[in-house]
Structure 1
């Protein structure tokens, strides 16, 4: 077709500056309607930009002068552990923070870390947020998904929607355990829940010297081993985020959540920090607990007439311990104190950095703990993971005393020290008595909060922290995200300036594993035992005159008990508490193992990254077979490692032999066989005749059983380091080699087969008996 000489080409028209109707006259057709207009485009599209109207996307812009927000979360740190809450552990930097603002004396949490974090992150009660307990598994009910509800808008999403830059460092623990792997789903990872940058780990705990599951955004990373310590690393990363923010987006305020793993088990600290506290706890828990109460009275944290409740069940008097026992027990608390002191040093570095950056005055800093001191160590142990596997004897513990707190230990302190952490309250983490849910909360905002070092007695709950921070930042509590649940907490901002401001709420329910409590005005009921079990009943306390639950008034005021009981039921029905989880702690913790089902076949072609423990094959307590096909038999190195020396199974080649070991330090089950130079196929097999402990282990090389062992002390539990093929990074699974001890042959393929039949009632009872058994005395 010939070109019309009377019409310009499109290029010629644009070059001549002809636009609009003139362009049409020059032969340019009007621009057709485009999909962008139907998708919310608010400008006008013509054939050329000079005739069009742009629609420049506008980011949300916070109001001028909006404050930065820094939330520091401590883990398993009790009400009395910090210096400014009566503790003898030196915390000068946290004390400095408290001196610049407020300490709350009636702040309450949920009793465990995941549930508290869910409430803090969303402003919802924990069951409403989908995490009524921990994140081990989905129980199949709305309040116990173990995964943050997708319609629960997070703190980061709300602040990001308002134009803030949001960063997370440290523990996360609000996504379902088995979603933490390279394939996800990542819907509840920090980067998917509103954080622009994150540096984090998922589980309830981490090894402080060699963490295996550390993520930068959505990618797992391996930190350097030499000189590494997690608390310092998280402080360093928080500082890096703050400096980058100031350099690149200093025109915007930031939200940062810094969630330290300390002082959650394992109690691990730098050697020089532990040495600082040598001898500091030789007086024992009875003396230290009384001394903390005296300091709390002097500070006005508790009434002058407050008395300590009797010793918690199972806590012996210090003077009944022999000298060797006292030395071991003191060591646990020396390590614990060292962990707190190192966190405090990091807080000081962050305060100094904020001052240097010019941000301190207009930064709201909230520092809290997620629940009370933990009873998980019972009588104290150098290896917490050994408690379901026979424990550690006193003689074995004495041999390890100098290693306790170092990289070759996985310790936890005893009930006696947990009682000190929770002074002046009864019981511990996991409980709904105040020892489990009464925690420190410090708030400082120098530009706006005039108070310096004052106390606030308002009753508030973890659910109230987000609405308080939103209110302070001038951000509406209502979220524009489609389907977002309304916030259930209430702002406590009025207490910033007014010590007599009313409580943000007059009622709050508590539920944790069947333990319950209800606060209504000055009255508090708390259950004696787990819901539905024999002997359970309500205790009643008048918190106005008895703030630490020492005088049970239930028999005197049954009318009040009945009123609060009705209130608890109403709140429970409103917040997805039912059905109450009446399983034992062991059944809840090992639900995936006991329930059975799920994946029972893995086909792996190395090399592959570590498979995190929650997503790796369940080997302990099940029949399994791990078959490796080799292209080169090699001479040394790890074939597979599941877990580590504190709890795990490993196969490796060394000095002409192949080893198959199960370790739960100091417990060891091992068999070995000669390693031929021409191995093509090797299988490592566990066959149980009575789950979870009795069975036969074998090594099969090229179809021939090369070694076998029968045992009635096979291991149970969840290793803390996942599955690795061909190497063993982070914490080694056996002290017979140095990590990573990479295999120098070549593994073509790994096939893993497990028995995923559900446990029956008898097998669960056998596992429960092992868990409840006291440590071996031999």
Structure 2
């Protein structure tokens, strides 16, 4: 049975793991003295030092020096590139039937093979954990995005779950990761670390990208290794994060090739396209104008026809029906259709632009003469396209975070895709992008959430050109495939820790032959209580409906729907529910899911996030010196719904401007800033892109040593909302200097708290970032009351 050797899980298993770790350490020491035959029986990393190869003698002229040799990859081992896109539906790309032009993906498909039954987990962080470790997401602690205090959900990457990057690094590979990294516990993402679970401590020698699920593509938070860095250009100067990542990857490849031309590399390239915010350059958006005026119903039909013509789906596949939650395109008003069509143009442009940047990276490998022996896995989506959006998408919001009127939104339609909004397209487009399947992201009971295209190219070894592979594959299979093709044995023990066995199995058997027999498989799926179980072509799933404010699919009654059953051997698109015909098989598969869930630490379903660690938790007082910056907003003091005081000790020079930001947290779509402008003290707050408060001191600040402060008092004694109205007051040297109402303080999640500047996007349009402070900051303090 598939993965039958997996050890038991849960608290008992962790105790057993500790015992195994001790055993592993003993084995590591023992292997130092083992014979070659014994050493082959157990793979241990790091390997014991080789015996000294030189000669020791009392006199130097009689001795022979020899340096320890660095690990070398097996002869002929290929370079490995894994490209992972974000929130891309099965049919979004032109390579798989969609309208977004993807010539890079097409080039790889033409020179390699395409998998049309490759599966992911239905959500980003879990899929990434599965890809990087070769274990199921819950085994790695990433059962969902929001962390919870249970082994399958705590987001703490354990040492008994070594990743492929670390194994390759210790076997002579150069390793680097670019783009989205969503596998470090959120509370450990700070400029002060800890860095134990950052990419550079998990096998990647170089990292350039961002932490978390979403990022502003024009004004991002970027990390180079463990240091925060700022973009070298502005959006007005043509900056875009994915293009920046491509340039950084090109630079790393050139350096790697210059210093170690014979050393293979492992490059992980995971741009944020096309995850919200869907940011794309205006000239790329213009290329898509008018292409989506037909609406999502017709687009599904057209995509489906193209898919069959391309051969990326079987001829007998069935186009699944529009779900009851989604209205027909023709039922929408002309103004709604106009807005929605523009949203789809932006999303398609974002995908095309992302594909182009991937092409730049691959072109660099070709220019270096290393393309022939480079194995590329291009996975077009870590889950299906997003459907957890409002019907008409998200862009301009009112001060309470609700969509502005359709008339107001249409006036701003040309700004979609720019840094004016953190926009995302409507749920119907996500459904259309998932053609021919049902539903999408976050719903692993349906193929729309878990089946994504994968293209594999390896010119030196894969002779098939443009062929389709229909064998079942899963994200957990990529690491085992890499181990097989590189000739690197998966380690039993790493740093004295016995390893959880691989959950996946190599797909290399399918490289040469389209008709290669697939091994028997069992694979479970689970996200937020929605479940699926696959066994040798049969698939059973149950959808769990939960309350999600604003999400189209969140409709009563809440809770589990009935289990459904599909025979994927004869029903490619999961169109015919056979549960009523075979109730016994449904029950058997439901029991099989429970068995797999017990083994893989899936329970409890939908765990709460109570008690989640945070460096600011339990503290009432915070002190910062000048230059403390890029503390993620989620790890900074949470001031939005409570009384608080922000104070600063400044030294101002009367001979020059002292303007600039003292402290800022958040950005264009929510945050606050205490700053000096034209010599006066200001406090500005914005909520969802709307000014929600602005106080100005009555007089200019004096020169010399100055104490300034802002105090906020909520209008209600015990606030219950996430953010509340209240009264703000400014103080200069202890004297009241200004006062006014603050309607709301709502900090944007993917921004940061900065002392002496406002990094990222600006909290207020009154200044341009970074608006660095011109005086001296001795100390800034925040007191929660």
- Equivalence map 1:7-156=2 (5 Å): 42=52, 47-52=58-63, 54=65, 56-134=67-145, 136-137=146-147, 139-156=148-165
Instruction: Note the alpha carbon deviations across 1:232-252, whole angstroms, 9 max, x for none.
Output: 111111111222222111111
CA distance in 1, matches of 2:580, 2:95: 37
Question: 1:601 matched to which residue of 2?
Answer: 621
Instruction: Note the alpha carbon deviations across 1:551-589, whole angstroms, 9 max, x for none.
Output: 222122111111111111111111111222244xxx68x
1:237 aligns with 2:260: no
Question: 1:402 matched to which residue of 2?
Answer: 414
- Preserved contact between residue 698 and residue 706 of structure 1 (Cα < 8 Å): no
Shift of 1:125: 0.3
Which of 542, 551, 558 in structure 1 is aligned with 2:576? Answer: 551
Q: Secondary structure at the match of 2:511?
A: helix
Give the stretch that moved more between structures: 193-202 or 700-709. Answer: 700-709
CA distance in 1, matches of 2:152, 2:531: 15
CA distance in 1, matches of 2:406, 2:87: 26
CA distance in 1, matches of 2:112, 2:781: 59
- Equivalence map 1:582-621=2 (5 Å): 582-583=607-608, 597-621=617-641
Question: 2:427 matched to which residue of 1?
Answer: 415
Instruction: Note the alpha carbon deviations across 1:626-677, whole angstroms, 9 max, x for none.
Output: 2222333976332321110112122333346544333234433113133432
Shift of 1:50: 4.3
Q: Secondary structure at the match of 2:425?
A: coil
Aligned pair count?
A: 709
CA distance in 2, matches of 1:191, 1:411: 32
Give the stretch that moved more between structures: 313-322 or 191-200. Answer: 313-322
1:737 aligns with 2:777: no
Which of 384, 393, 405 in structure 1 is aligned with 2:405? Answer: 393
Which of 159, 167, 170 in structure 1 is aligned with 2:168? Answer: 159
CA distance in 1, matches of 2:251, 2:259: 12
Q: Secondary structure at the match of 1:402?
A: helix
1:467 aligns with 2:485: no
CA distance in 2, matches of 1:171, 1:534: 32
- Preserved contact between residue 648 and residue 662 of structure 1 (Cα < 8 Å): yes
- Preserved contact between residue 525 and residue 533 of structure 2 (Cα < 8 Å): yes
Shift of 1:375: 2.2
CA distance in 2, matches of 1:526, 1:568: 9
Change in CA separation of 1:321 and 1:715 when aligned onto 2, cut-off 3 Å: farther
Change in CA separation of 1:188 and 1:220 when aligned onto 2, cut-off 3 Å: same
Q: Secondary structure at the match of 1:497?
A: coil
Which of 324, 329, 343 in structure 1 is aligned with 2:335? Answer: 324
Question: 2:527 matched to which residue of 1?
Answer: 512
CA distance in 1, matches of 2:630, 2:361: 33
Q: Secondary structure at the match of 2:544?
A: coil
Q: Which has the higher contact order (CA 8 A, sep 6+)?
A: 2
Shift of 1:119: 0.6
Instruction: Note the alpha carbon deviations across 1:530-567, whole angstroms, 9 max, x for none.
Output: 59964443111111222222222212211111111111
- Equivalence map 1:116-515=2 (5 Å): 116-134=127-145, 136-137=146-147, 139-211=148-220, 213-224=221-232, 225=234, 226-368=237-379, 369-383=381-395, 389-432=401-444, 433-481=446-494, 482-483=496-497, 484-515=499-530
Which of 657, 660, 669 in structure 2 is aligned with 1:646? Answer: 669
Change in CA separation of 1:74 and 1:686 when aligned onto 2, cut-off 3 Å: farther
Larger Rg: 1
Give the stretch that moved more between structures: 563-572 or 523-532. Answer: 523-532
Change in CA separation of 1:48 and 1:222 when aligned onto 2, cut-off 3 Å: farther
Give the stretch that moved more between structures: 412-421 or 351-360. Answer: 351-360
Q: Which runs of 5+ in 2 are unaligned?
A: 1-47, 547-556
CA distance in 2, matches of 1:308, 1:386: 38
Shift of 1:691: 2.1
Question: 1:680 matched to which residue of 2?
Answer: 707
CA distance in 2, matches of 1:592, 1:428: 31
Instruction: Note the alpha carbon deviations across 1:9-60, whole angstroms, 9 max, x for none.
Output: xxxxxxxxxxxxxxxxxxxxxxxxxxxxx99864775555445565631222
Shift of 1:366: 0.5
CA distance in 1, matches of 2:584, 2:760: 58
Change in CA separation of 1:39 and 1:324 when aligned onto 2, cut-off 3 Å: closer
Question: 1:25 matched to which residue of 2?
Answer: none
- Preserved contact between residue 56 and residue 64 of structure 2 (Cα < 8 Å): yes
CA distance in 1, matches of 2:727, 2:132: 46
Change in CA separation of 1:294 and 1:264 when aligned onto 2, cut-off 3 Å: same
- Preserved contact between residue 686 and residue 744 of structure 2 (Cα < 8 Å): no
Shift of 1:439: 0.6
CA distance in 1, matches of 2:318, 2:365: 40
CA distance in 2, matches of 1:312, 1:388: 30
Shift of 1:715: 4.6
CA distance in 2, matches of 1:374, 1:48: 72
- Preserved contact between residue 378 and residue 414 of structure 1 (Cα < 8 Å): yes
Question: 1:8 matched to which residue of 2?
Answer: none
Instruction: Note the alpha carbon deviations across 1:321-359, whole angstroms, 9 max, x for none.
Output: 222222211111111111111122223323333222221
CA distance in 1, matches of 2:500, 2:231: 38
Question: 1:565 matched to which residue of 2?
Answer: 590
- Preserved contact between residue 660 and residue 684 of structure 1 (Cα < 8 Å): no
CA distance in 1, matches of 2:49, 2:100: 59
Change in CA separation of 1:534 and 1:422 when aligned onto 2, cut-off 3 Å: closer
Give the stretch that moved more between structures: 645-654 or 89-98. Answer: 645-654
CA distance in 2, matches of 1:307, 1:128: 35
CA distance in 1, matches of 2:501, 2:397: 40
Shift of 1:80: 0.8
CA distance in 1, matches of 2:246, 2:296: 31
What's the TM-score, normalizing by structure 1? 0.86
Change in CA separation of 1:591 and 1:395 when aligned onto 2, cut-off 3 Å: farther
CA distance in 1, matches of 2:745, 2:407: 21
Q: Secondary structure at the match of 2:192?
A: coil
CA distance in 2, matches of 1:290, 1:621: 48
Q: Which runs of 5+ in 1 are unaligned?
A: 1-37, 756-778
